[in-house]
Amino acid sequence: MNLSGFDRTVRMFTGLGLVTFDYLANADWEIAFFIVGTWTVLTSTFGYCPIYRVLGVNTCPTAILND
């Protein structure tokens, strides 16, 4: 895990908002909203962000390993 509780909560609400907005968007932007929204919901659910790993960011205060 490399996401804090606050980070996970913000990602969850943002992702759900984007997926909901995807439902209302026109066809040109629909795929982009769906991909970004799904990505943020999944990273929030699992508490792990591969992009944070590559950048060396860790917002989880209880992380045991920082490899």
Q: Tell which residue, 12, 15, 7, 13, has the closest CA to residue 62.
A: 7
> What token pair was written down for 44?
């929030």
pLDDT band at 64 (very low <50, low <70, confident <90, very high): low
Report the C-alpha gap between 63 and 19 in whole angstroms.
29
pLDDT band at 9 (very low <50, low <70, confident <90, very high): very high
Please, are residues 1 and 47 in contact by the beta-carbon 8 Å criterion? yes
pTM: 0.77
For the stretch 32-54, pLDDT in tens is 888 999 999 999 999 999 998 89
Q: Is the pLDDT of residue 26 over 90?
A: no
Indicate the domain borders of the chain.
14-55
Q: Tell which residue, 34, 7, 31, 9, has the closest CA to residue 20.
A: 34
